[in-house]
Structure 1
Amino acid sequence: MAVSLWSPLSLVATLLLMLTLAGAQTSSDPFIHSRAAYYPNSDEQGTDRGACGFGSFGATINGGDVSAASDLYRNGVGCGACYQVKCTNMAYCSDKGVTVVITDSGSGDRTDFILSRRAFGRMAQTTDAAASLFSLGVVDIDYRRVSCSYPNKNITIKIDENSNYPNYLAFVIWYQQGRKDITAVQLCETQNFGCKLLDRSYGAVWTTTSPPSGPLSLRMLFSGADEDDQSWVVPINNIPQDWKAGDTYDTGVQVNS
């Protein structure tokens, strides 16, 4: 992918635009019909071994309302995307359903979603209705993508525990609001602005060997459904020069588009 470096003024303008866009929690997109199952051997929340690479964060994000996805996983691009999922059996299911975050890859019997037990039960009208849904195991659903929302949270960088300072850097991105996908990430030296394009190792894990030295800044490419709907966002805060495996760093920015 060809990546162009914008002037500081253009980057600031883009950042301000994205920060001022209102992020609706509902969607005007039409619902798509499919099927959903649930993790049969899990606890109420998700798994800390999901294919997105979120670790324990992937089990507890969004209160544990998470899901594995088949086609919607999109080789990791779909990690962190939010969907409204509602079952269609009027005897048991609520009109609202549940909003889930994609944290894993998986498929069942013609399913697009394998929900956490918590999320699966929250599609129901009542506790008794939830028990009936669990007994069915797989249910018909309607779903659509919606905006993610993490109040009072900025986009956060979690350095993967397998990182090895200063030779190998891997990280995942937490708390991404909105409805866009992060499709490219650059890692830049803050002193001379030299940047390198990172690799998506798997899921939501971005990696590089021989990372630049010194304090590091990120540039993240947010892409919408329209191929022309792309914007680079530059965090306010840098990754410190002495970054450590397992640490988290607040970027100081959030997006709502």
Structure 2
Amino acid sequence: MAPELQASLLIVLCALLPCVFGGDPQGGWLEAHATFYGPPAGTIGGACGLEEFKQTYSPYTTALSPALFNNAASCGACYEIKCVNTTGQCKAPQKSITVTATDLCPTGDGKWCAPPRAHFDLSMPAYLRIGEYKAGVIPVNYRRVPCMRKGGERFTISGHQYFNLVTVSNVGGSGDVKKVEVNAEGDEKWTQLKRNWGEKWETNEKLSGKSLTFRVTTNDGKTVTSQNVAPKSWQYGQTFEGRN
């Protein structure tokens, strides 16, 4: 390939990839700071509504500042983070960790999480992989990366006959869900669910007694269809595993 064509392709790739995974065209890394929260075993839950899925995401999770959280649109996204200060704050300078966004960082401190700052409030196990406990807050570089998940997307259905609330978890790829649709057996059309909060999506359509097919679209434009993932006999409170 001619050098000028290679250069053109690199320019195009650098322009497009940050739009999907949130990186800087000059190497893919952006600047932020990180703190930690929770007990040593790690925490999960909060504003993304994923408290029932500790085994899926723990212990390497993070709360995001509002600038990154984007009104829950970033729930489930994965970030590669590395400590960049070498004056005693970093336990392993330039060593990176990958974490999943599962919560919103509180802004009450008026500093680190307050808009428009990009900030990560890491679980303690994640923080201690890269930062010294005594430092408390460390400068980091970060970038969006694909989420590597075991198994398929999971759909947990709660509510009642006239209100269905579906929690979507274990989503691969970009990890952050943009749209959820359901097709109930016998229906000709897809029903688009509305984000209730976090990764909980709602519809008032009558779904009970019908097998269900879910279609999930992530913010990178990838769509995954899980055909007949819930059988006719499904009950509220159950979780069903589809594709990824």
Where on the TM-score scale, by shorter chain, does this alignment land: which range?
0.7 to 0.9
> Corresponding residue for 2:141?
142
Is the 2:184–2:211 Cα contact (8 Å) retained in structure 1?
Answer: yes
> Corresponding residue for 1:79?
75
In the TM superposition, 1:193-208 aligns within 5 A as 193-208=188-203
Q: CA deviation at 1:244?
A: 2.3
Is the 1:185–1:221 Cα contact (8 Å) retained in structure 2?
Answer: yes
Alignment gaps of 5+ in structure 1:
1-26, 125-132, 225-229
TM-score by length of 2: 0.77
> Corresponding residue for 1:34?
32
C-alpha distance in structure 1 between counterparts of 2:229 and 2:44, whole Å? 30
Is the 2:76–2:175 Cα contact (8 Å) retained in structure 1?
Answer: no
C-alpha distance in structure 1 between counterparts of 2:73 and 2:184, whole Å? 25
C-alpha distance in structure 2 between counterparts of 1:235 and 1:169, whole Å? 18
Identity %: 26
C-alpha distance in structure 2 between counterparts of 1:210 and 1:45, whole Å? 37
Query: 2:153 aligned with 1:155, yes or no?
Result: yes
Q: Which structure has greater strand proportion? A: 2
> Corresponding residue for 1:116?
123
How many residue pairs get aligned? The number is 207
C-alpha distance in structure 1 between counterparts of 2:36 and 2:236, whole Å? 33
Question: Structure 1 residue runs of 4+, over 4 Å off?
Answer: none
> Corresponding residue for 1:54?
50
Is the 1:237–1:250 Cα contact (8 Å) retained in structure 2?
Answer: no
Q: CA deviation at 1:146?
A: 0.8
1:171 alignment partner, one of 166, 177, 181: 166
Distance 1:211 1:106, change over 3 A: farther
AA in 2 matched with 1:31: W
TM-score by length of 1: 0.73
Is the 2:215–2:226 Cα contact (8 Å) retained in structure 1?
Answer: yes
What SS does structure 1 have at the residue aligned with 2:47?
coil
In the TM superposition, 1:231-246 aligns within 5 A as 231-246=222-237
C-alpha distance in structure 1 between counterparts of 2:224 and 2:214, whole Å? 8
Distance 1:212 1:61, change over 3 A: closer
Distance 1:120 1:180, change over 3 A: closer
Alignment gaps of 5+ in structure 2:
1-22, 114-118
Is the 1:187–1:212 Cα contact (8 Å) retained in structure 2?
Answer: no
What SS does structure 2 have at the residue aligned with 1:238?
strand
Query: 2:97 aligned with 1:106, yes or no?
Result: no
Is the 1:44–1:117 Cα contact (8 Å) retained in structure 2?
Answer: yes
